[in-house]
Structure 1
Amino acid sequence: MRVITGEFRGRKLDTPIGNDIRPTSDKVKESIFNILMNDIYGRVFCDLFSGTGSLGIEALSRGARRCYFCDSSRDSVNLTKTNIKKCNAESRSVVILADFMRALSRIDEKVDVFILDPPYKAGIYEKCLQQIDYLDLLSPEGIILAEHGAADHMPDSFGRLTKVREKKYGKTKLSIYQCVTEAGQELQEEDNE
């Protein structure tokens, strides 16, 4: 597993042993960052179920100002810290060992991009959306990108959050949420054309 492009391009990242962590495939990772292309530089990210840290590190490599890496697994957090160190990205990284509810409550600034990639079938996407909305953590033009199984249904809206785009990549689907604003409506209209 390598960083695709940017400051840390080509940097090899450590991968997990066993099946406890499911890293995002390079194809899906490339698609995620093609979608986020204009929403990276100078932005604050949160890789909420960081696993290896690959997605957050890719964001930092492409110019994100800061990334919160959160995971409830000590092994995942240690792997994330190792990969952050390999990229000398400690000064722009905040690593939180906690379940997602406690991790979200420890973020003390608005986040521009949330990446949600929990274990599939865990039934926690709605709880994540609810907590992000409840704590008002998403910046006004921010987005939440949820990676989930292609057969899994994600709600069209949740609180102030509305699904504005959905893309399928084989067995994986990406659902993108924003706060209900004119910008969100424009994205929805573009996808319907």
Structure 2
Amino acid sequence: MRINTGRFKYRKIEVPESARPTTEKVREAVFSMLIGRIKGATVLDLFAGSGSLGLEALSRGAGYCVFNEVNRKNYKILKNNIENCKAEEISSTYNNDFRKALVLANREFDIIFVDPPYREGYYGEVFELIEEYGLLADDGVIVAEHLNDNLLSDKVLCFNRTKHKKYGTIGVDFFERA
């Protein structure tokens, strides 16, 4: 897998065996919908895996990215991918459960990528904690990737779905404050 566009274009990203990376096609579509929001943005890649979403955001001009990956082996690969892109100075990483990572994040984000293991059902809890800890900037967006047969609600707490796109079996939803 490679970074699609920007300053890290064509840099290879190693994908952990146990991870399900966001495909290049879906990443390209997501970032085309984020045009105008990326430059200088503070980004959270909560279930990072290989870090492809956060690294793509940094490559396209995001100012800073916080990565979190709970799996120890995947975390090492994530760190190597960040080093390969020479993005250590514009990022930080956590090797924690998402709940602890959200507590430690302690800042507002312009873009939050939520791409958990699909069948685990973490979406509701993630949205609750984002709201409770005030992690989404007023004009920020949560980008949630899920299986298309596991549709998320149009409204989750104070967040409204503003976009829903389908790519084969994958669904991508954008949520913003009501």
Report TM bin, short chain.
over 0.9
Structure 2 gap ranges (5+): none
SS at match of 1:114: strand
Q: Which residue of the partner structure matches residue 61 of structure 2?
A: 63
Q: Which residue of the partner structure matches residue 87 of structure 1?
A: 85
Q: Which residue of the partner structure matches residue 168 of structure 2?
A: 170
Q: Does 1:108 align with 2:106?
A: yes
User: Runs of 4 or more off by more than 4 Å in structure 1?
Assistant: none
Q: Which residue of the partner structure matches residue 15 of structure 1?
A: 15
CA distance in structure 2 between the partners assigned to 1:16 and 1:103 by the alignment: 20
- One of 47, 50, 56 as aligned partner of 1:49: 47
Q: Give 1:14 shift.
A: 1.3
Letter of the 2:25 counterpart = K
Q: Does 1:34 align with 2:32?
A: yes
Structure 1 gap ranges (5+): 181-193
Q: Which residue of the partner structure matches residue 99 of structure 1?
A: 97
SS at match of 1:39: coil
Letter of the 1:81 counterpart = K
CA distance in structure 2 between the partners assigned to 1:153 and 1:3 by the alignment: 28
Letter of the 2:83 counterpart = K
CA distance in structure 2 between the partners assigned to 1:92 and 1:127 by the alignment: 28
CA distance in structure 1 between the partners assigned to 2:80 and 2:72 by the alignment: 12
- One of 156, 159, 162 as aligned partner of 2:157: 159
CA distance in structure 2 between the partners assigned to 1:58 and 1:104 by the alignment: 21
SS at match of 1:146: strand
CA distance in structure 2 between the partners assigned to 1:141 and 1:166 by the alignment: 18
Q: Deviations over 1:60-79 (max 9, x none)?
A: 00010100101111112111
CA distance in structure 2 between the partners assigned to 1:33 and 1:117 by the alignment: 15
CA distance in structure 2 between the partners assigned to 1:11 and 1:114 by the alignment: 23
Q: Give 1:152 shift.
A: 0.6
Letter of the 2:6 counterpart = G
TM-score, with normalisation over the residues of structure 1? 0.90
Task: Kindly tell me the number of residue pairs found equivalent between the two proteins.
Answer: 178
* Structure of greater Rg: 1
TM-score, with normalisation over the residues of structure 2? 0.97
Q: Give 1:107 shift.
A: 0.9
